[in-house]
């Protein structure tokens, strides 16, 4: 009786694995980036992201001083590394931002000023799997990641000097034909 039950469970597990294998190798698992993510995929991606950040993101305030020097350094880092996907001060998306599977938020319009410093730091350091958000810890120093985080935290309340630097980041909208 027990033997039969175990054999049944094993057969179901094998059938499940074969089914999953065929789903992948027969090209039924979507590989295109021009669709919208299904609800289940979205739910799993969001839940795992929040749970991971909760567990791993550094706690406490941004360790770099909120002065013009760091803010302007953060804006320069943003211009070089982020604007192509997250836009300039006009919030107009580039073709790249629009074409990503998970659309990249235009941070001038949908900013992350309310997020904890550690959460934004974690996202920039590690990137976000299954989206176009890259990890920057191979290419930016910890200080640079905190500086760009500082800018994102204060994007809606910059000093006049930093505001001028931000407004000078070129629009990412495609040139009109
Ligand atoms: C190649 C495109 C790309 C580049 C370059 C990029 N990002 Fe992203 N980023 C994304 C995408 C796509 C998402 C949306 C991820 C999602 O839906 O969870 C994202 C999400 C984010 C978020 C979370 C936004 C939110 O609403 O929670 C932050 C913060 C962020 N990026 C900061 C940055 C910073 C800072 C840089 C530069 C150092 C950068 N990104 C560079 C594509 C990009």
Cα-to-centroid distance, 103 and ligand 1 (Å): 9
The pLDDT assigned to 50 comes to 96
Ligand 1 center–CA 24 separation, angstroms: 28
CATH of 46-167, picked from 3.30.1490.100, 3.10.20.30, 1.10.760.10, 1.25.40.10, is 1.10.760.10
What lies within 8 Å, CB to CB, of 119 at 6+ separation is 53, 57, 112
pTM over 0.75, yes/no:
yes
- CA of 131 from ligand 1 middle (Å) equals 9
pLDDT score of 121 more than 80: yes
- Minimal-distance CA residue to ligand 1 atom 12: 104
User: Ligand 1 atom 29: the closest Cα is on which residue?
Assistant: 120
Q: Is the pLDDT of residue 23 over 90?
A: no
Residue 63 phi, psi (nearest 5): -75, -15
Whether residue 76 has pLDDT greater than 90: yes
117 contacts 50 by C-beta, under 8 angstroms: no
- 164: left (phi > 0), else alpha (psi -120 to 50), else beta? alpha
Report whether pLDDT(28) > 90.
no
What's the mean pLDDT in 55-68?
97
pLDDT of residue 34: 86
Considering only residues 176 and 42, tell me which one the structure prediction assigns the higher pLDDT: 42
Would you say 155 and 86 are in contact if contact means Cβ atoms under 8 Å apart? no
Mean local confidence (pLDDT), 55-72 = 97
Per-residue pLDDT at 110 exceeds 90:
yes
In this structure, the residues whose C-beta lies within 6 A of any atom of ligand 1 are 81-82, 84-86, 100, 102, 104-105, 112, 120, 123-124, 128, 131-134, 136, 148, 152
């Amino acid at each position: 009786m027990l033997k039969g039950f175990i054999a049944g469970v094993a057969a179901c597990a094998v059938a499940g694995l074969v089914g999953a294998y065929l789903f992948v190798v027969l090209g039924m698992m979507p590989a295109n980036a021009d669709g919208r993510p299904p609800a289940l995929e979205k739910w799993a991606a969001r839940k795992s992201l929040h749970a991971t950040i909760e567990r791993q993101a550094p706690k406490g305030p941004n360790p770099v001083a909120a002065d013009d020097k760091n803010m302007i350094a953060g804006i320069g880092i943003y211009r070089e590394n982020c604007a192509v996907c997250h836009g300039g001060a006009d919030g107009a998306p580039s073709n790249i931002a629009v074409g990503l599977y998970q659309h990249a938020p235009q941070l001038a319009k949908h900013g992350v000023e309310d997020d904890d410093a550690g959460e934004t730091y974690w996202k920039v350091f590690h990137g976000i799997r299954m989206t176009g958000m890259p990890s920057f810890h191979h290419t930016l120093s910890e200080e640079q990641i905190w500086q760009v985080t500082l800018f994102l935290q204060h994007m809606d309340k910059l000093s006049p000097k930093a505001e001028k630097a931000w407004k000078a980041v070129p629009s990412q909208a495609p040139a009109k034909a």
